[in-house]
Amino acid sequence: MKHIHDETKTALEKVAIQMKNQYDKKKKATIEYQIGDKVWLNTTNLHLARPKKKLDDKRLPQTWKIYPVFNETLLMPYIAPTFANQKQNPPPPPNIVNDKEQYEIDTILDHKPRKVRGPKDPETGKYTTRTVTDYLVAWKGYGKEENQWTKESELGYAKEAIAKYWKNRKDAITIQAAVVNANDIKADGSYSPIFILDSRQKDGQVQFQVQQGTNFVTTAWYFEHEIPHLSELIKDYYWASREEFDEEYRSVDGYRPEEEGG
């Protein structure tokens, strides 16, 4: 009986050695980490709130109550950029307000309306809809790649930034105006229309972005005095802008219409 026990023990030890040898063929050398070293962490076991992995945070939130020890298979050493122009200063940490992270807004770049489902109408039994606004936010201390569309409901602390955005937007013109003159129409019925796409302030004067044609397009910025032949088009441009910004829109053109229809 003892002989059988010894043979079994020897066989098990031999199998264990073979398994170890096979494992060691694929196993990489152990990396020695020191306190303060930066590492990349595999997020396989982390339940994050972001809808896509691309949008995941690059740092663990300070509010997380998470055990700070991970298996080395989930870690990868951080390698600093090779070239000086690749280096970036670390972004500022968020403020913690009521145990929630709050990032400082640098500026609001754009907005877009979005329809969401509301409560049921008690009379019809159908769901109602309402319109909410999302803002494209540039965060202070972060690069353009971190710009993010954010719900207005999540920006309750940024009322001043939102008010500033809308104030600046009243001075910006984003509506297109187009004119097709009879002289532009060729014998074959084709034409090369002229569009005003945008306007901006430069050196205290107004510039207009003018596009010529639809097939072979040319686009350039011109001061108003450089395009006197487009004065009627500029008027139409301001009319279109007035429709967007309502009666409070103050044009910078000197063409402000006196009355409706005239």
Domain's final residue, options 169, 187, 220: 169
**What are 162-189's pLDDT values in tens digits?**
888 888 776 554 545 554 444 555 555 5
Average pLDDT over residues 17-39: 82
Same domain, 122 and 158: yes
**What are 235-244's pLDDT values in tens digits?**
777 776 554 4
Same domain, 110 and 157: yes
Q: Count how many residues are written for the chain.
A: 262
The answer as to whether 149 is a domain residue is yes
The answer as to whether 87 is a domain residue is no
Average pLDDT over residues 93-105: 81
The answer as to whether 81 is a domain residue is no
Gap between the Cα atoms of 134 and 115, Å rounded: 11
Same domain, 115 and 136: yes
The answer as to whether 137 is a domain residue is yes
Write the CATH number for 108: 2.40.50.40
Domain's final residue, options 118, 137, 169: 169
Pick from 136, 138, 155, 134: nearest CA to 146: 138
Sequence-distant contacts of 230-237: CB under 8 A, at least 24 apart: 230/194, 230/196, 231/255, 232/179, 233/177, 233/178, 233/179, 233/194, 233/196, 234/177, 234/196, 234/208, 236/177, 236/178, 236/179, 237/173, 237/175, 237/176, 237/177, 237/196, 237/199, 237/208
Same domain, 216 and 160: no
pTM beyond 0.75: the answer is no
Gap between the Cα atoms of 76 and 33, Å rounded: 10
Same domain, 148 and 203: no
Same domain, 155 and 198: no
Same domain, 217 and 236: yes
**Residue 188 domain boundaries:** 177-245
Number of domains in the chain: 2
The answer as to whether 65 is a domain residue is no
Gap between the Cα atoms of 60 and 73, Å rounded: 18
Gap between the Cα atoms of 178 and 232, Å rounded: 10
Same domain, 159 and 202: no
Same domain, 164 and 192: no
Domain's final residue, options 169, 189, 207: 169
Same domain, 149 and 201: no
Same domain, 122 and 182: no
The answer as to whether 88 is a domain residue is no
**What are 53-91's pLDDT values in tens digits?**
666 667 776 666 777 788 888 898 888 877 777 777 777
Q: Is the predicted pLDDT of residue 133 greater than 60, yes or no?
A: yes
The rounded radius of gyration (Å) of the Cα atoms in the chain is: 32
The answer as to whether 1 is a domain residue is no
The answer as to whether 40 is a domain residue is no
**What are 242-252's pLDDT values in tens digits?**
544 444 444 44
Pick from 68, 61, 49: nearest CA to 100: 61
Same domain, 188 and 216: yes
Report pLDDT for 144.
81
**Backbone phi, psi, residue 54, to 5°:** -60, -30
